[in-house]
Structure 1
Amino acid sequence: MDTSLLLAFCLALGAMLYSTVGHGGASAYLALMALFGLPPAVMKPTALVLNLLVAGLGSLRYLRAGQFRWRTLWPFLVGAMPFAVAGGAIHLPADLYKPLVGIVLLLSAVRLLWPREIRAMHESRDPPIWLAIAIGAGIGLLSGLTGTGGGIFLSPLLLFLGWSMPKPLTGVASLFILANSAAGLLGNLASVGRLPAELPLYAGAVLLGGLAGTTLGIRLEAPLILKALGLVLVVAGVKLLGLF
């Protein structure tokens, strides 16, 4: 099989898994492109563009399904977007942040996959606006630096602090990732010139994967959404730790 077709197939699988929980899949795309030997300069803008497509599809479908809450989202967006632009313009050595973030994601995954019930399964409360803006700023900067949409950081935080139930979390995460990915790409517009010629193939693949994943996300019950999110965090954490 042609290498580009094989990568496109793998990207579609990544999009399907991530979009099930409202994520765009950037961390999976970065891992896959690294495995297939794409140049680092190409990986970040490509991951953000694919993230925009899948998160846009997810936002539309989860909004139409009623799986969303604006009050949960907007304070995080206010803090995140300007810092995502700033983070997108900064280039740091990967070894400064990847191991730490990978460990945090794996610890979050363990908690989600643990049999003990999470309070947000049954009730949630609104996050304090000032705190959500501050947290959003940190997530925005981190997502801009890493070339991701920030959903892998936001979703477990909302659950663990009891600020969102699993179903509306999918729509909140999708819209957050959509806005944050656009901001991150805006912060490094020059990188768009490095997009690969195979981008239309990859875009079609992730949209098909996203269509399948969002269909699952709309139909799955809350406990299964948590397990799927835990699996997503394992994949992202292992990738950031450089274990594959």
Structure 2
Amino acid sequence: MNSSWLKQHAWVLNLVVASLAFYHYQKAGYHRPKLSLMFIFASLPAAFYGGTLKVDGAVYDTLLSAALLFAAFRLATTQHDEVQLEILPPPPMQTTVPIGASIGFLSGMIGVGGGIFLSPILVLKRWATPKAAAATAALFIWVNSAAGLLGAQLSGQLTLSVDPLVSFAVAVGLGGFVGSKFGAEKAPQSTIRWLLIGVLVLATAKRGIDLLS
């Protein structure tokens, strides 16, 4: 399995999980449309272009692992209660455009939705609570994954294997439904924060294993 095959299948699974996550967080009232659109505006074309590229290399994996680990470290060492913390208004376009475009391009190149990078930024910059960040990240992931798939299709790289994809889609769909429903309706803000840290650490570990194998 090459990197193009892996990232394309990851995008399809992202569409399943992100749809469920966005549904639950939006239904619970955590979605802020203006905040989401300001980042998606620039990420969509960037993810599309990134999806047309084929990128491999140990240096790239190393840089990605470092970025994920740094985001987890910042979240873990920033001590405050998000429920009581004043949330700032959405940032201006001159801030959201470079952030959205950079994450979108990275998402298109490596096959992630980008929410794993956007969520820590939203929380650390106080633009959203962890649950509001989860809602925006879910929509961000869906849009970037769809754009990446379209880019792969138009560049002649799309190679999806239906049988394993269906099996994995059912599994991640069930997990995504339960997890997002719990996160949106039951879990406190601090739990969502630490779950995000855990996801970042696991993603870093996976990249490290891939790098060493």
Report the TM-score when normalising by structure 2: 0.90
Q: How has the CA–CA distance of structure 1 residues 205 and 129 changed in structure 2, closer, same or farther, with 3 Å as cutoff? A: same
CA-CA distance at 1:243 after TM superposition: 5.9
- Structure 2 Cα separation of the partners of residues 170 and 81 of structure 1: 18
Counterpart amino acid of residue 114 in structure 1? T
Partner residue in 2 for 1:76:
39
- Structure 1 Cα separation of the partners of residues 180 and 171 of structure 2: 14
Pairing 1:232–2:204 present: no
Secondary structure in structure 1 of the residue aligned to 2:148: helix
Counterpart amino acid of residue 54 in structure 1? V
CA-CA distance at 1:121 after TM superposition: 5.9
Partner residue in 1 for 2:66:
103
- Structure 1 Cα separation of the partners of residues 134 and 191 of structure 2: 12
CA-CA distance at 1:201 after TM superposition: 1.1
Which structure 1 segments of 5+ residues have no match?
A: 1-37
CA-CA distance at 1:119 after TM superposition: 6.3
- Structure 2 Cα separation of the partners of residues 103 and 133 of structure 1: 23
Partner residue in 1 for 2:167:
201
CA-CA distance at 1:209 after TM superposition: 0.6
The size of the alignment, in residue pairs, is 207
- Structure 1 Cα separation of the partners of residues 102 and 83 of structure 2: 23
CA contact under 8 A between 2:82 and 2:130: conserved in structure 1? no
- Structure 2 Cα separation of the partners of residues 115 and 77 of structure 1: 26
Q: How has the CA–CA distance of structure 1 residues 137 and 120 changed in structure 2, closer, same or farther, with 3 Å as cutoff? A: farther
Which residue, 151, 158, 181 being the options, matches 1:215?
181
Pairing 1:155–2:148 present: no
Pairing 1:57–2:29 present: no
Q: Deviations over 1:54-92 (max 9, x none)?
A: 101111121111111112111110110001000000112
Partner residue in 2 for 1:137:
101
Aligned-residue RMSD, C-alpha: 1.9
The correspondence of residues 18-37 of structure 1 with structure 2, limited to 5 A, is none
CA-CA distance at 1:194 after TM superposition: 3.3
Which residue, 48, 51, 54 being the options, matches 1:85?
48
Q: How has the CA–CA distance of structure 1 residues 121 and 227 changed in structure 2, closer, same or farther, with 3 Å as cutoff? A: farther
Q: Deviations over 1:23-59 (max 9, x none)?
A: xxxxxxxxxxxxxxx4544211111000011101111
Secondary structure in structure 2 of the residue aligned to 1:67: coil
Which structure 2 segments of 5+ residues have no match?
A: none
Which residue, 65, 72, 87 being the options, matches 1:124?
87
Q: How has the CA–CA distance of structure 1 residues 240 and 120 changed in structure 2, closer, same or farther, with 3 Å as cutoff? A: farther
- Structure 2 Cα separation of the partners of residues 137 and 76 of structure 1: 8
Partner residue in 2 for 1:33:
none
CA-CA distance at 1:110 after TM superposition: 1.9
CA-CA distance at 1:196 after TM superposition: 4.4
Counterpart amino acid of residue 112 in structure 1? L
- Structure 1 Cα separation of the partners of residues 66 and 81 of structure 2: 21
Counterpart amino acid of residue 8 in structure 2? P
CA contact under 8 A between 1:45 and 1:147: conserved in structure 2? yes
CA contact under 8 A between 1:123 and 1:165: conserved in structure 2? no
CA-CA distance at 1:94 after TM superposition: 2.8
Counterpart amino acid of residue 208 in structure 1? L
- Structure 2 Cα separation of the partners of residues 224 and 208 of structure 1: 20
- Structure 2 Cα separation of the partners of residues 121 and 95 of structure 1: 42
